[in-house]
Amino acid sequence: MNDSEPNNSDWLQYKLMIVDRLDKAEMSQREMSSELQALQGKVGAYELCGCMFAGAVLIVLAYLKFHGMIKKNEDQNSL
């Protein structure tokens, strides 16, 4: 019967070790999650900037086309 007491102590230490590892894993998962959110925010900002730039280019091209500053090369079509 005395053999069960050290086993219980070892089992308790094992449980505490597992709980400690789970706590560390959860903390590292939270850190990774916050880093991922920060990275997603940066990617979203770059996507927004790219879309805004593309939109500005399209607006400028439409403006130039509307005011006749961009013309088709009619000399090549007449050949």
What are the pLDDT digits (tens) for 39-78?
888 888 899 999 999 999 999 999 988 888 777 665 555 5
Q: Where are the domains of the chain?
A: 4-71
pLDDT average, residue stretch 22-30: 88
Q: Which pLDDT value is given to residue 1?
A: 46
Integer Cα distance of 44 and 48 in angstroms? 6
Integer Cα distance of 20 and 13 in angstroms? 10
Q: Which pLDDT value is given to residue 6?
A: 55
